[in-house]
Amino acid sequence: MEKIKKDIVSKLSLIISKDFDTSIYQISKKRYLLFWEEDIDKNNVNKCLEKIDSIYNSFGKYKLIIVVGKTSESFTKTELFYFNNIDTFVVFYLLDFSNKKVYMNDRSIFVLGLNYKKTIKKLNKIIKFKQ
C-alpha cells in the first residue's frame, strides 16, 4: 500500500492540506484524499465514517473526502458513497490486493463543485487493477 500511496501522491502532485490537523492530501479546493491504513470491511465502515466525521469536521463548510484503503470484501458502488447530512461527502476507493480488484463509486455529483469523477479516473490509471 505504501508504494501505491507514493505513486498516487507524486502522479497527482498532492500536498498535505493545512485545513486540518492530521495528514490528509488536498486535491483541490474542498476536495481531499485520505489514505486509510486499517482494512475496511462492511462491519467497520460506519466506524471509519464516524472517525472521519470527528477528525475532519469543518463546521458547515462542504467538502469531499476520497478514502483510499484496503479490503478483502466485495462492495457495490452504492455502498461506497456517503453523506453525513451536514457537510461531508465520503467516497471509498478500496483495493483488494488478493483479487487485484478495485471497488469504487465513479459517478458524478454536481453539488457545490464537489465532483470527483475525474479524480477517480486518474486513480484508475495509476492503480491498473480490474474495475
d(CA 49, CA 53): 6
- pLDDT, tens only, 24-39: 999 988 899 999 999 9
pLDDT at 76: 95
> What's the domain range around 35?
2-127
Contact criterion met (CB below 8 Å) for 27 and 66: yes
Other residues' Cβ atoms within 10 Å of the Cβ of residue 61: 11
pLDDT at 123: 92
Number of domains in the chain: 1
What sign results for the dihedral spanned by CA atoms 51, 26, 81, 58? positive
- pLDDT, tens only, 75-117: 999 999 999 888 889 999 999 999 999 999 988 777 777 788 8
- pTM of the prediction? 0.90
